[in-house]
Amino acid sequence: MSRRKKQQDEESRGVPEYMTTYGDLVTLLLCFFVLLFAFSEIDAKKFQAIMQSFQGSAGVLNGGKTLDDAQFVNNSTLSDNITSNIKEIRELRALKESFEEHLEEHDLESQITVELDERGLLLRFDDNVLFDSGRAEIKTQSKDTLRFISELLREEQLSDKFIRVEGHTDSDPIKNSRIFPTNWELSTIRAVNVARFFIEETDMIPEKLSVSGYSKYHPVAPNDTAHNKAKNRRVDIVIMNSDYQRSEPNY
């Protein structure tokens, strides 16, 4: 058989047989990594950093730097931060359960709710628990509740946490405008009075505390019914997580 005839016969047979096995192997590997991806917990920051590190290197994405030094993808810093964040989330979840148990033991679960959000662990005082309508003086009967909350906030596991006291109102205009011109003043002074109580009456460390007044502009429900407005009239105490803590002074 001539060389030309042999070459034509090989070409007519199509791709080599080993390519079928090779294709199956690649497909199985792809399925394996997709399965690992499906079972993993995706961290948005890690994903973004990894995508930036590959940008332009695979010839698929738009051109860019092969490596992004700012994200520390090639050393352990990113991994350490992710591990630390996961640990912190678990600690805050455990702390949430502990707080809920303490509140239930003292029959305070109807007055104070405990939630986890992107900022950290939040203690929310429901409407009129601490203040009368349109007033900023802490109710006498509520001071024992604040002392109890202060004890929780001074526990050892919170020694490195920053705490913010936030005041909120509904959308109704202030009625006693001679004292508080707007809801801005009312929400802020309420937060200030709670923080002052913690410092002056329970010896909390002042450097750990900050206050914010948000007026009607951070509602948790639409201001369309009396029930929803009551939800928006609140004081929140936020135990800040590490990411939000960095935005606070001295941290």
Average pLDDT score, the chain? 82
Q: Residue 162, Cα to own-chain centre: how many angstroms?
A: 14
* pLDDT score at 77: 59
Q: Which domains does the chain have, with CATH numbers?
A: 3-79 (no CATH), 85-245 (3.30.1330.60)
For the stretch 68-118, pLDDT in tens is 555 544 555 556 667 777 888 899 999 999 999 999 999 999 999 999 998
* pLDDT score at 57: 45
Question: What SS3 class is residue 117?
Answer: strand
pLDDT greater at residue 50 or residue 229: 229
Confidence (pTM)? 0.67
The 3-state secondary structure of 156-222 reads HHHCCCCEEEEEECCCCCCCCCCCCCCHHHHHHHHHHHHHHHHHHHHCCCHHHEEEEECCCCCCCCC
Dist CA 189 CA 197 (whole Å): 12
For the stretch 139-190, pLDDT in tens is 999 999 999 999 999 988 898 899 999 999 999 998 877 889 999 999 999 9
